[in-house]
């Protein structure tokens, strides 16, 4: 039995040396030290030995068992280490990582943030109003009574509650006056809704950015100065502007402000329809009735207001020729920004 054990040990260790992977290691573990393994079988015969032989053979058997177990453990950790080594070798750490898909800001949001920064630097606060607005703030307080034809200028979504989806950001003017009084410098970026037939330049949803400045002795000169600053912020250069008269019930006088065409520099091109000018925004001096609605004394205060078509500006800046793309949620479009 002594000899049998020694031979078994020698044979096992020789076979162990040839192990190449974990699978082979497990097979040999089962073959030698498993429940029906060769060593286990020999150990089971120990009980049949003569009493005087038992201690000697028992000790030897135990040594063989320990030696095989240790060898198998060594081999196992050796294999794990090698596996790690080969992973490190197979990984080229200088390769760029897999790119992670991230979202990006909507072009509308990009321009809105840019404008907000310009106005904040001029001391304006940024306020937002509700999308569902009362008839009072959307029309009445802005000097547009129920029978006023100007209501037809804006095709309105009426709710059964009698409220409206705000048709313009001007709806925030009187809310802001009521809340903050005068002097007041604020802009109101926001979503507007009109009941329109849609085409490349009309959508039922679009964005405006309203501005309001009220103090003593505010004049058109202040309005133009602020607008020029705004254009410098948006287009990064000085832009020539001109005013034409325009009618809006909540301003008196009212204007349309045009900017020198940025594409051709005023020479005339297809974008400005050969006029050299681009319509930018309607504006004017706040009507005394609107100041009164906001709780301000028109004898003491005056102000200017403007309603920048944010969506229009986005289209102009990025050369987008169909307004419907902006609300489409089409990723092929959005990924370009
Ligand atoms: N709220 C007007 C519209 O959506 C635009 C507008 C015109 C705003 C003149 C103003 C303004 O603040 O002074 O048609």
pLDDT at 85: 64
Helical H segments across 21-134, by residue range: 22-33, 38-44, 54-90, 107-121
On whether the CB atoms of residues 168 and 138 are closer than 8 A, the answer is yes
Q: How far is the CA of 170 from the centre of ligand 1 (A)?
A: 6
3-state helix, strand, coil in the chain (%, to 5): 45, 20, 35
pLDDT at 66: 84
Cα angle, residue 322 at apex, residues 316 and 323 outer, rounded to 5°: 75
pLDDT at 200: 87
- Nearest residue CA, atom 6 of ligand 1? 307
- Nearest residue CA, atom 8 of ligand 1? 307
pLDDT at 87: 62
Give residue ranges with CB within 6 A of ligand 1: 168, 170, 210, 248, 251, 254, 282-284, 305-307
pLDDT at 227: 86
Ligand 1, atom nearest to 306 Cα: 12
What stretches in the chain show pLDDT beneath 50? none
State the SS3 of 145-176.
Answer: CCCCHHHHHCCCCECCCCCEECCCHHHHHHHH
pLDDT at 10: 86
Q: How far is the CA of 247 from the centre of ligand 1 (A)?
A: 9
Q: How far is the CA of 149 from the centre of ligand 1 (A)?
A: 15
pLDDT at 24: 82
pLDDT at 290: 98
- Nearest residue CA, atom 4 of ligand 1? 168
Ligand 1, atom nearest to 153 Cα: 14
Ligand 1, atom nearest to 211 Cα: 12
pLDDT at 23: 83
Single out the residue of 79, 66, 78 nearest to residue 13, CA to CA.
Answer: 66
- Nearest residue CA, atom 3 of ligand 1? 168
pLDDT at 101: 85
Secondary structure element (H or E) that encloses residue 257, with its range: strand 251-260
């Amino acid at each position: 039995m002594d000899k049998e054990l020694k031979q078994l040990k020698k044979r096992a260790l020789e076979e162990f040396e040839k192990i190449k992977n974990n699978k082979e290691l497990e097979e040999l573990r089962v073959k030698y030290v498993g429940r029906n393994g060769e060593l286990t079988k020999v150990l089971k015969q120990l009980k049949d030995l003569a009493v005087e032989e038992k201690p000697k053979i028992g000790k030897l058997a135990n040594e063989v068992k320990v030696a095989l177990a240790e060898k198998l453990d060594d081999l196992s950790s050796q294999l794990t280490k090698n596996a790690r080594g080969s992973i490190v070798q197979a990984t080229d750490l200088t390769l760029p990582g897999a790119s992670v898909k991230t979202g990006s800001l909507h072009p509308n949001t990009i321009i809105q943030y840019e404008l907000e920064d310009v106005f904040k630097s001029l001391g304006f606060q940024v306020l937002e109003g509700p999308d569902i607005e009362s008839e009072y703030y959307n029309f009445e307080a802005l000097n547009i009574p129920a029978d006023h034809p100007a209501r037809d200028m804006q095709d309105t979504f009426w709710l059964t509650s009698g409220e409206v989806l705000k048709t313009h950001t001007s709806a925030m003017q009187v809310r802001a006056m009521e809340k903050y009084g005068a002097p007041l410098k604020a802009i109101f970026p926001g979503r507007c809704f009109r009941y329109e037939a849609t085409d490349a330049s009309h959508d039922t949803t679009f964005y405006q950015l309203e501005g309001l400045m009220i103090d003593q002795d505010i004049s058109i000169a202040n309005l133009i100065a602020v607008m020029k600053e705004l254009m410098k912020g948006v287009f990064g250069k000085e832009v020539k502007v001109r005013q034409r008269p325009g009618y809006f019930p909540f301003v008196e006088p009212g204007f349309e402000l045009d900017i020198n065409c940025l594409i051709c520099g005023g020479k005339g091109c297809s974008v400005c329809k050969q006029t050299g000018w681009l319509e930018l925004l309607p504006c004017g001096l706040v009507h005394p009735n609107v100041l009164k609605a906001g709780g301000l004394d028109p004898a003491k205060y005056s102000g200017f207001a403007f309603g920048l078509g944010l969506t229009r500006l986005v289209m102009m800046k990025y050369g987008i020729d169909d307004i419907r793309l902006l609300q489409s949620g089409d990723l092929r479009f959005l990924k370009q920004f």
